[in-house]
């Protein structure tokens, strides 16, 4: 069944059998990998129990399964297992990283971030402001890049934390984490990154990047929804946001979901082996799609953040003269988006594109295409053809 409750439709196209709708929204969520599903299955069915019960073998076995998963998550980002805190997802991890860190500080404090961050960063920062923190949001250029000199100039005596995402969820732009980490280390400032969009195709080494805190999410890594993790560098002090138990070193109360933890661990284990091949495959498909659009739409199609480093799977394209919302409505056979799923819930135009200098008409004409490890060349060719067909109809 598809997400809308109807049976999926199979069609023949260029000698291949395609299942519609074609999923091209991998920045919003990735499909659950079959091997991950299989790893989780025993803990969803017969191996029930509380992993924090240490008085019997079942509880001890579940605890060990979680600790093995913790090791896999740590290995993905070159961290130590004891530095990994399981959460319900990246949003909780971001809240714990930002509010937990700032609440642990003494005296007045200042935090620096970027205008193009995800709402899971921007909204906790608003909450921090309400609690007395001072927040500086730095601008970006037309490609979405952060000026590192502006970052250095924004640092004040009371600056205690910098938070910059690894890769943008709307444009795919990658920030230079090691360069930012070097600036922070030189000033004795903690450095956090929301690495949700980067980790499926990019290597992030927390030591080399100089990170104190890193957030990740299972369902952006071909793992399950409802699970994520926060890397907390040893000696980094946080105040817990939830209370009621001593789980996760006292930083995150609540019984851990064994199956979800195992799923996240398995997804991370698989990525350490196949991420390089995934990235190459996805980049090939991205370039294939770009060629189609350039050949058929010409200068009407403008690709955002193309002059800057970016993850391979995200293609943000502004098609002059097209209404993106209407375009998607006319393409029920494609699963695309106009930007962040969280922003679409609020019904607001993209703050990311506006920060990059795009006007209202350009923002309204922008589509985000997200390619994943299971996307095929035939799917890209079909999707490109349909996009061009509807765009030309709108353009007259």
pLDDT digits (tens, 9 = 90+) for 326-372: 999 999 999 999 965 555 455 678 999 999 999 999 999 999 999 99
CB contact set of 240 (below 8 Å; sequence gap of 6+): 96, 100, 250, 251, 252, 253
Positive or negative torsion for Cα 182, 185, 189, 194: positive
Q: Are residues 135 and 152 part of one domain?
A: yes
pLDDT digits (tens, 9 = 90+) for 110-140: 999 999 999 999 999 999 999 999 999 999 9
Q: Are residues 387 and 318 part of one domain?
A: yes
Confirm whether 160 is domain-assigned.
Answer: yes
Instruction: Give the CATH number of the domain where residue 181 resides.
Output: 3.40.640.10
Q: Out of 174, 268, 314, 342, which one is annotated catalytic?
A: 342
pLDDT given for residue 3 in this prediction: 46
Domain, as residue range, for 386: 9-32+275-395
Please state the pTM of the whole predicted model. 0.95
Q: Are residues 98 and 200 part of one domain?
A: yes
Query: What span, in angstroms and rounded, lies between the C-alpha atoms of 263 and 273?
Result: 16
Q: Are residues 280 and 168 part of one domain?
A: no
pLDDT digits (tens, 9 = 90+) for 146-166: 999 999 999 999 999 999 999
Q: Are residues 313 and 247 part of one domain?
A: no
Q: Is the model more confident about 4 or about 392?
A: 392
Q: Is 314 a catalytic residue?
A: no
Report the candidate in 116, 164, 154, 126 with the shortest Cα–Cα distance to residue 358: 116
pLDDT digits (tens, 9 = 90+) for 62-72: 999 999 999 99
């Amino acid at each position: 069944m598809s997400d809308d409750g109807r049976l999926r439709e199979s069609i023949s196209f260029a000698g291949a059998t395609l299942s519609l709708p074609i999923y091209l929204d991998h920045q919003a969520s990735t499909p659950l990998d079959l091997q991950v599903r299989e790893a989780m299955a025993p803990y969803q069915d017969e191996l029930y129990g509380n992993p924090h019960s240490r008085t019997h073998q079942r509880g001890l076995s579940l605890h060990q399964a979680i600790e093995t998963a913790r090791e896999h998550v740590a290995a993905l980002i070159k961290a130590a297992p004891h530095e990994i805190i399981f959460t319900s997802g990246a949003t909780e991890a971001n809240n714990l990283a930002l509010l937990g860190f700032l609440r642990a500080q003494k005296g007045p404090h200042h935090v620096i971030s970027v205008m193009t961050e995800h709402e899971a960063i921007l909204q906790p920062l608003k909450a921090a402001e309400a609690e007395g923190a001072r927040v500086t949001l730095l601008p970006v250029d037309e490609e979405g890049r952060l000026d590192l000199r502006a970052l250095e100039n924004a640092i004040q005596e009371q600056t205690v934390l910098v938070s910059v995402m690894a890769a943008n969820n709307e444009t795919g732009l990658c920030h230079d984490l090691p360069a930012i980490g070097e600036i922070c280390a030189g000033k004795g400032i903690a450095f956090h990154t929301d690495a949700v969009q980067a980790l499926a195709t990019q290597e992030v080494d927390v030591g080399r990047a100089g990170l104190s805190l890193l957030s990740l999410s299972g369902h952006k890594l071909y793992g399950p929804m409802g699970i994520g993790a926060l890397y907390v560098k040893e000696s980094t002090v946080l105040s817990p946001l939830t209370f009621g138990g001593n789980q996760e070193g006292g930083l995150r109360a609540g019984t851990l979901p064994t199956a979800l933890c195992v799923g996240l661990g398995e997804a991370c284990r698989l990525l350490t082996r196949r991420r390089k091949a995934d990235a190459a495959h996805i980049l090939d498909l991205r370039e294939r799609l770009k060629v189609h659009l350039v050949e058929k739409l010409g200068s009407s199609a403008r690709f955002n953040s193309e002059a800057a480093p970016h993850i391979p799977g995200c293609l943000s394209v502004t098609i002059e003269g097209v209404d993106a919302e209407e375009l998607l409505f006319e393409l029920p056979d494609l699963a695309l988006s106009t930007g962040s799923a969280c922003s679409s819930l609020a019904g607001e135009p993209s703050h990311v594109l506006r920060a990059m200098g795009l006007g209202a008409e350009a923002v309204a004409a922008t589509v985000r295409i997200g390619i994943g490890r299971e996307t095929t060349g035939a799917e890209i060719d079909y999707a490109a053809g349909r996009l061009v067909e509807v765009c030309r109809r709108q353009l007259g």
